[in-house]
Amino acid sequence: MAETNPAENAPRQFVNYAFFKVDPAWRRLPEGERQAGKEEFAKVAEEYRGRAVVVPFSLVGIRGDADILLWRIAYDLETLQEMTSKLLATGLGKWLTVPYSYLGQAKTSVYEDEFIHPSQEEKRSRVRPGEYKYLFVYPFVKTREWFLLPKETKQEAMRGHIRVGHEYPSVKLNTIYSFGLDDQEWVVAFESNRPSDFVDLVMELRETEASRYTQRDTPIFTCVRGDLRHVLGTLGG
CATH number at residue 114: 3.30.70.1030
d(CA 60, CA 224): 9
Is the model's pLDDT at 58 over the cut of 90?
yes
Cα–Cα nearest to 20, from 218, 177, 228, 198:
228
CA distance 69 to 17: 7
Q: Same structural domain for residues 127 and 82? A: no
Domain assignment present for 2: no
pTM of this prediction?
0.90
Helix (H, G, I), strand (E, B) or coil at 202: helix
pLDDT band at 113 (very low <50, low <70, confident <90, very high): low
**123: containing domain:** 108-223
Q: 80 and 152, same structural domain?
A: no
Structure confidence at residue 155 (pLDDT): 93
Q: Tell me, what's the pLDDT at 237? A: 65
Domain total in the chain: 2
Q: Say whether both 126 and 185 belong to one domain.
A: yes
Q: Are both 94 and 118 inside the same structural domain?
A: no
- In this model, does residue 131 exceed pLDDT 50? yes
Question: How many beta carbons lie within 10 A of that of residue 75, not counting itself?
Answer: 12
Classify residue 121 as exposed, middle or buried by CB count within 10 Å of its CB (0-12, 13-18, 19+).
buried
In a domain, 1, yes or no: no
Chain centroid, CA 179 distance in Å? 15
Residue 92 and residue 189 in one domain:
no
> 59 and 149: one domain?
no
Question: What is the mean pLDDT of the segment spanning 144-162?
Answer: 94
Q: Is residue 8 part of a domain?
A: no
pLDDT band at 7 (very low <50, low <70, confident <90, very high): very low
pLDDT of residue 124: 58
Residues 118 and 215 in one domain: yes
Separation between Cα atoms, residue 91 and residue 79, nearest integer Å: 21
